[in-house]
Amino acid sequence: MNEDRFEFGKNWKNYAKDVEDEHIRIAEQSLIEALSPEQFKGKTFLDIGSGSGLFSLVATRLGATVFSFDYDIDSVECTQAIKDRFAPNSDWSIEQGSILDEEYLSKIEKADIVYSWGVLHSTGNMYKAFHNISTLVKPQGHLFISIYNNQGSKVTRYWLGIKKEYVNGNEDVRSKLLKKALHELWGRTFTDDFFDTGDPLKSWNEYKKYRGMSAYHDLVDWVGGLPYEVATRKEVTTYFRKKNFELVWQKPNNGTGCNEYLFRKVDK
């Protein structure tokens, strides 16, 4: 993978320094919105593109045996640091690996729950990643993924241009692009919050209610996040239906964010 890449893991390391119990509690809510806590107990949980490691941590606390891997060594180190800090004695292994590397995947056991949130569209080959991930789910197991929503080629081209400029730019260019995106994505919210509550940063400061994330680090992840692909809900559900995955839950996103999908593998 020699193409332009965003350093996801550096951003995760930066975010993870501030992770507290509240972030973990909120991250747990986002997992059990789709799967019940009972579904984790005694099950295997494979976290592909674990990033910060926060969701692997939640799965381990819910009683699953966890295996996490990420392509980016900084993400791997970040996941390891979260484990060392919050769950050092848990049944949780962490490695560097890629969802596009079939030789690596051939050594990995299929899991009851395969989780890959915001990852497959950032690999450089989303449909190969879709195929590979579909082989890692046990029969009757669950696949929980999220994929950037397709808002049409004009919007995709626009953000692709910004991301390429960011990844290839120096500090000044990056800072300029972050400011521009902040204005475009958050300007209206700052204004509404100011007039509604007197605090323009109300939603910004409450952003961690969304999966335990941080508004600033999610903004950096979005502006820099390359490779970048998108898919409509229909494209994703049709693809996985053909592979015998039944859609059991979804959380749509009508903007540039991620549609979330929970599938169950229905074949023997």
Q: Which residues bind ligand SAM (CB under 6 A)?
A: 8-9, 48-52, 55, 70-72, 75, 98-100, 117-119, 122-123, 221
Q: Which is nearer to ligand SAM, 30 or 44 (CB)?
A: 30
Say how far apart CA 141 and CA 143 lie, in whole Å: 7
Residue 221 · residue 8 · CB < 8 Å: yes
Q: Which is nearer to ligand SAM, 193 or 221 (CB)?
A: 221
Q: Which is nearer to ligand SAM, 6 or 245 (CB)?
A: 6
CB of 90 to ligand SAM, least distance (A): 18
CB of 101 to ligand SAM, least distance (A): 8
CB of 54 to ligand SAM, least distance (A): 6
Residue 144 · residue 262 · CB < 8 Å: yes
Q: What is the DSSP letter of 175?
A: H
CB of 52 to ligand SAM, least distance (A): 6
Residue 150 · residue 121 · CB < 8 Å: no
Torsion (CA) 121, 201, 197, 29 in degrees, nearest 10: 50
Q: Which is nearer to ligand SAM, 112 or 221 (CB)?
A: 221
Query: Bridge-partner residues for 137, per DSSP?
Result: 111
Which amino acid would we find at residue 248?
Answer: V
Q: How far is CA 262 from CA 12, 68, 147, 178, 219, in A?
A: 24, 19, 12, 32, 25
CB of 194 to ligand SAM, least distance (A): 30
Q: Which is nearer to ligand SAM, 118 or 141 (CB)?
A: 118
